[in-house]
Amino acid sequence: MQKKPALSLLIILLTVSLHAQVQDSRKIIVFDNDWKFFKGDMTGAEASGFNDATWRSLNVPHDWSIEGPYDRNNTTGRGGGYLPGGIGWYRKTFSLSPADANNNIYIEFDGVMANSDVWINGFHLGKRPNGYVSFQYELTGHLNFGDGQKNIIAVRADNSVQPASRWYTGAGIYRHVRLISANPVHVAHWGSFVSCTNVTGRNAIVQVQTVVDNASPSEQKITLQVNIIAPGGKQVASVQSEKKIAANSHETIVQKIKIEEPALWDIETPQLYKAITKIIINKKQADELTTSFGIRDARFEAATGFWLNGKNIKIKGVCLHHDGGAVGAAVPLRVWEKRLQSLKDAGVNGIRTSHNEAAPEFLDLCDKMGFLVMDETFDTWNARKSNAENGYNLYFTDWWEKDTRDIVLRDRNHPSIVIYSIGNEIHDNLNDSSGFRKYKMQQDLVHSLDTTRPVTMALFRPALSHVYENGLANKMDVVGQNYRENELIAAHESNPQRKVIGTENRHELAAWLALRDKPFMAGQFLWTGYDYLGESDWPGVAHGSGLFDKTGAERIIGYQQQSWWSDKPMVYVMRKEGNAGAGDWISDWSPTDIDTYDEARIQVFSNCDEVELFLNGKSAGAKTRPEDNASPRTWTITFQKGTLKAVARNKGKVVAEQELKTAGKPSKIILTADKPGVENNWNDVVYVTATVTDDEGNPVLSADSKITFGITGPGFIAAVDNSDLASVEPFSSKERWAYKGRCIAIIKANGDAGSIHITANAENLKEGSASIEVKNEKNYQ
């Protein structure tokens, strides 16, 4: 009598075991479309039976805060750029095939801002305070399968407790969402870690560490196969291992593969491999996961700074916040692609993700484009900061370990990441045992998850915290400091075993010379690469520290940095806006009051041997490189209408030129699209710039007309913007005031083929127009 239940149990186990063997590999379903949204709080909205018929229909990523309106009294304050905070609800109805009923089902969020709660069919899955960290919940056991069976995922995002950030955060499900259906025997979430050792041009050892979950109720004997695919698409190596995994448990399997003549990842040729991991049970594939990685040797040395594949390189980096200007925190990939390319063209090779976890696709771009990344976790530990008193400091004690673990596990396969930072300008006491403990526990956790990269933090006024004397700095893998380059230099010179890097620096000659002239300085990260929303006092709503403004136009400090950092020959000429050196620097030859403008002070940035200045074809003299090989070249000339021209030469050959012409009265609008085509997917955009010019097409920087954009065809205006840091006009509009003679419209497609026609009109100006072709090609995602 007692044997029958045992026999029944055996049959059940065999059935489950066989079923696990024949299930298909994982399915990854894009879960961005067809959500319902309600701005505000709503009792009972987590319940399956809740009626959301009147809610707004939209797709995510979605940032509801960027929709405005601006208001000086918004509780986000200067940090949030005076845009609204509050609560938002999202709901999505979906069905699942009966074929998925025996799989494990998961939902992945790349980021929800902030304090998110998630429910499936009324069951609470969990809460996540940090809006930047990616997370996953398992839905298995709470789902309905089959025709006519509905499931409801509900998300409540709450950033109503303010001020919570020193910069703009956005609000809502502002990053991508995926649904995963996997065999009960599968590679764990973020369970594939690929690292490389003994890297040379001849060969390299690739180590693949895989965590395999067996969520079935029986032991499983698996074959774990890893195929290595070279950048050109050819399989160059394969390895497999067998392992028995007990029921409802997991195992970590480590495999090593030797790669002959590897294609190395570096900043000039960022070549990427793929590791295709397969789990095979009884000769049937149960799971497959592709992991992108790069083969490279990156290290920091105390005496000589940073090395990549045997080459000594200065990290010429910038800090970036996560917003994309007019699109807010929900940033299409093309926005980042455009921004990163502009930075690369200016000579930038490094990015610091200040001061939070970046979107995964952002790091993918850094891999593909060849940037060196400092991956930063937190802006605060326990001690609060002004204008962000209700920020992560409220959650650090309970969440630092989970958040840090998830950040490192998600990001450790990116070859672009060369160092982690576990804090920015931390205000906790670093001169006592508690400060030591907090630093060490985070650094130790990172090391336990990723042994291949060092850890730093961005020290804040170390002379006051005494970290260079009390021993804390000696515990850091690499000592990072914000600003005060002389202090960091002195810290190294007092202890030459310290590896050092500038974690935040100004766009100043002294900062550049500290990096250029000190071999032990590994790099620096300028504040910032792009202007960003928030951290500005009213009437300002954005912070203007970027090499580029929020519309993508390069600022004067950008050209200065380009003259120091870029190898491409360049020249950039500007004048003082007022007579005899008064006012700001401006790059035009059209004084506001020509009758009183007489003495023009000229400054030229260039990385070339010689620059010669011409006014209306007559030379004003040539100047060679300054003694420090970095300062601008200057002239004082008498103003004349016409053409100011700077000609740069290397070894006597003209390699770069720039002309400035005196503009007439505003006459027309010229529209230019930054690329000719756009794909019909969320990630693609085209920037269309409206420039007010005179009859000859010369830009009129003093023009401030209100520009009205029009659009026909399979596209729409996603946002408009200008460079004004105090503009509180709505981004979701068809109108924008020109600022310094220009403004932009960001265009998206909403059809699969055809021509999008854009117009721009303003009072007393001739209409401008441009066309964009919609391309029906593969999506970014």
Q: Is 763 a catalytic residue?
A: no
Order of strands across the sheet that contains 315-320: 500-504, 479-482, 455-459, 417-424, 372-376, 350-353, 315-320, 523-526
Instruction: Please report the pLDDT score of residue 20 as a whole number.
Output: 33
- Catalytic pick among 288, 337, 504, 554: 504
Instruction: Please report the pLDDT score of residue 11 as a whole number.
Output: 29
Residue 126, sorted as left (phi over 0), alpha (psi -120 to 50) or beta, turns out to be left
- Catalytic pick among 425, 485, 554, 679: 425
Q: How many CA atoms lie within 13 A of 35 on its CB side?
A: 24
By the 10 Å C-beta count (0-12 exposed, 13-18 middle, 19+ buried), 780 is classed as middle
Instruction: Please report the pLDDT score of residue 6 as a whole number.
Output: 36
Instruction: Please report the pLDDT score of residue 7 as a whole number.
Output: 31
Give the H/E segment covering residue 281: strand 273-281
* Strand duo 177-182 + 633-638: pairing: unpaired
Judge contact between 352 and 315, C-beta under 8 A.
no
CA angle 439, 443, 449 (to 5 degrees): 155
Name 358's Cβ contacts closer than 8 Å, sequence gap at least 6: 132, 322, 375
Give the H/E segment covering residue 401: helix 396-411
Q: Tokens for 723, please give them.
A: 């460079």
10-residue mean pLDDT profile of the chain (781 residues): values are 34 32 75 98 97 98 98 97 98 96 97 98 98 98 95 98 98 98 98 97 97 97 98 97 97 98 98 98 96 98 98 98 98 98 98 98 98 98 97 98 98 98 97 96 98 97 93 97 97 98 97 98 98 98 98 98 98 97 96 93 98 98 97 98 98 98 98 97 97 97 97 98 98 98 98 97 98 76 40
Judge contact between 323 and 55, C-beta under 8 A.
no
Q: Is 425 a catalytic residue?
A: yes
Cα 267 from Cα 252, distance rounded (Å): 32
Signed CA dihedral, 711, 714, 720, 723: sign only: negative
What separation in angstroms does the CA of 758 have from each of 12, 680, 692, 747?
64, 17, 16, 9
